[in-house]
Structure 1
Amino acid sequence: MKKIKRFLNIGKEAELKKNIKEVDQFLYKLINSKIETIQNPEDDNIYLKKRDFVSRRLEMKDTDPKYLRDMVLCVTVAGQDTTASSLSWFVYMMCKHLHIQEKIAQEVREIINLKDDRSVDELAASLDQEALNNMPYLHATLSETIRLYPSVPMNARMCFSDDTWPDGFSVKKGDMVVYQPYAMGRMKSLWGDDAEEFRPERWLDKNGLFQDESPYKFIAFSAGPRICLGKEHAYTQMKIISAVLLGSYIFKLADEKKIVNYKTMVSLPIDGGLYVKASPRLWHAKP
C-alpha cells in the first residue's frame, strides 16, 4: 500500500514528499548563502568570527552540498530528543543543588557583565562562542549531569572483523558489542568512591579550568571513529539555553517530595516530565 501511495503521490506519502522538499529548500538556501559568504566576504574579521559548522565543512575541498545537507539534518534532528533529555536532567539537578545553580548564575553574570535591567533576549545575544568558552563551571556541570544521566543509556556496535581486546577477550566478525554509558558513568572503578555523587568539580583542574576526560571513560557520546558527530553542537546548544535560563530565573521543584525517575526507552527522558517553579532572578537579591 505504501508503494502504491508513493507511486500515485497521494496520502501520507505525498505529504512526506512535500515536507522533505520544504526541508531541502531551507537547507540548500542556507548552504548556498554560506558558499556566497565564503566566496565574497564583505568583512574578513566578521567572517572569521562567524565560522560555524557549515562554513568549516565548506572550506574543505570537494564538499558535496548533498552530503553537507545530510550531515546538517543528521546533527539537528538526531540531537533534538537527546539534548532535550539532557537539559531536563540538568534543570532537575539544579533544583536539587541550589548552591550549584547560584554558582553557575554568578559565572554567567560575570562573563557577560550582566546588569539588572538586561532582558532575556539581550542576555542570549551576548552569548557568543568566546563567552561560552569562558564558562568552565557551566561546562563541568553539564558534563556531570550527562555522566549520571546520559541521553542514550545503552548503546551497541557491530564488529566488522575478528579482533582481540587488550584484556585478551576475543570478538568475532558480526558480534554485537553492547555497552552501558549509564552504568559506566556510576562505576567507582572509573570515577572513584564518590561516583554516584553529583560533583561538577571533578571536571575542573586546580586552576578551575575545564578538563575533559577520555571518551572511552566518559562514553556518553561514544568514542573512536564513530564518536557522536554532534557532540560540540550539543554542548553549545545546552550552554546557551542553560546560561539564559539560569541567568534569568531561579528554578525549584514544584513538588519537592515527588520522586523523579527516568522512563525506560532508547533515550533517557524523565518519566512524566519535570514540573518546576521559575521565578525571575533579581541580582540585587539573594535567591
Structure 2
Amino acid sequence: MLCKNPAVQEKVAKEVREATEGKQITNFAEFAASVDEEALEKMNYLHAAITETLDSIQLCPWMKFIWGDDAEEYKPERWLNEDGMFRQRSPFKFTAFQAGPRLCLGKEFAYRQMKIFSAVLIGCFVFKLRDEKKTVNYRTMINLRIDGGLHVCALHR
C-alpha cells in the first residue's frame, strides 16, 4: 500500500525520523534498538497506516456501509483524531483482531512488532513497485499471498 501511496510512505518516514530524533542509521540492529516504547508512542500515523492496510486486505461487501463512500480508498487519516493521535475504533467495526470475548490476546504485541519492523524498513529505504501499472491481487489461501509475488525495489533513503 505504501508503494501505491508514496505520499503516505514519505509521511511515515518523516514521522519515524521525528520519533527517533533523527538518529543516523548506520546499523540496522542499533536503529531497531532505538525504536523504543517512547518512540513507538509517537508513531500515530504509522499505526494508522498499518491499521488501514489491515482493514483494506479484508474488504467485504458491507465496507461502505461501515466506513462510508471512501471505504475503498487507502486513507490512514480515517484512524486519526483532529490532533493527529490514533483513535481506537470499535473492534466490532474493525475486525482484524476479532471482538468481544474472542479479541486477540496478541493484538498489542502484533502492533508493536509491525510498527518496529515498518519503522526500521521505512526509516532506511524507499520502496517502489517494479511495475507500477501491474495490478496487485491477493490469492485466497489459508494465509494471505500475493498472486505472482510482489516485485518491489528498495532504495536507500
> TM over 0.5: same fold?
yes
2:52 to 144, 148, 152: 144
Post-superposition offset of 1:229: 1.9
Which residue does 2:34 correspond to in 1? Answer: 126
Matched-pair contact (CA < 8 Å) for 2:25–2:124: no
Q: Secondary structure at the match of 1:145?
A: helix
Following TM superposition, the consecutive aligned residue runs of length 4 or more in structure 1 with deviations greater than 3 angstroms are 115-118
CA distance in 1, matches of 2:131, 2:3: 11
1:259 to 117, 135, 141: 135
1:192 aligned onto 2:100: no
Unaligned runs of 5+ in 1: 1-92, 151-181, 282-287
Post-superposition offset of 1:116: 4.0
2:122 to 246, 249, 256: 246
CA distance in 1, matches of 2:71, 2:27: 38
1:223 to 85, 99, 110: 99
CA distance in 2, matches of 1:149, 1:130: 29
CA distance in 1, matches of 2:41, 2:25: 24
Tell me the C-alpha RMSD between the 2 structures.
Answer: 1.4
CA distance in 1, matches of 2:110, 2:84: 23
1:183 to 41, 60, 78: 60
Matched-pair contact (CA < 8 Å) for 1:123–1:244: yes
Matched-pair contact (CA < 8 Å) for 2:125–2:154: yes
1:111 to 19, 24, 37: 19
Query: Structure 1 130/117 Cα, relative in aligned 2: closer, same or farther at 3 Å?
Result: closer
Unaligned runs of 5+ in 2: none
Aligned residues: 157
Which residue does 2:79 correspond to in 1? Answer: 203
Query: Structure 1 123/183 Cα, relative in aligned 2: closer, same or farther at 3 Å?
Result: same
Query: Structure 1 133/115 Cα, relative in aligned 2: closer, same or farther at 3 Å?
Result: closer
CA distance in 1, matches of 2:12, 2:25: 19
Tell which has more relative contact order, 1 or 2 (C-alpha 8 A, sep 6+). 2
Q: Which has the larger radius of gyration?
A: 1
Matched-pair contact (CA < 8 Å) for 1:263–1:269: yes
Deviates more, 1:111-120 or 1:263-272: 111-120
Which residue does 2:152 correspond to in 1? Answer: 276
Query: Structure 1 117/195 Cα, relative in aligned 2: closer, same or farther at 3 Å?
Result: closer
Query: TM-score, normalised to structure 2's length?
Result: 0.94
Matched-pair contact (CA < 8 Å) for 1:114–1:123: no
CA distance in 1, matches of 2:69, 2:132: 27
Query: Structure 1 96/259 Cα, relative in aligned 2: closer, same or farther at 3 Å?
Result: same
Deviates more, 1:122-131 or 1:104-113: 122-131
Post-superposition offset of 1:226: 1.2
Q: Secondary structure at the match of 2:81?
A: coil
Q: Deviations for 1:120-153, whole angstroms, at most 9, x for unmatched residues? A: 2221110112211110000000000001114xxx
| Greater share of residues in helix | 1
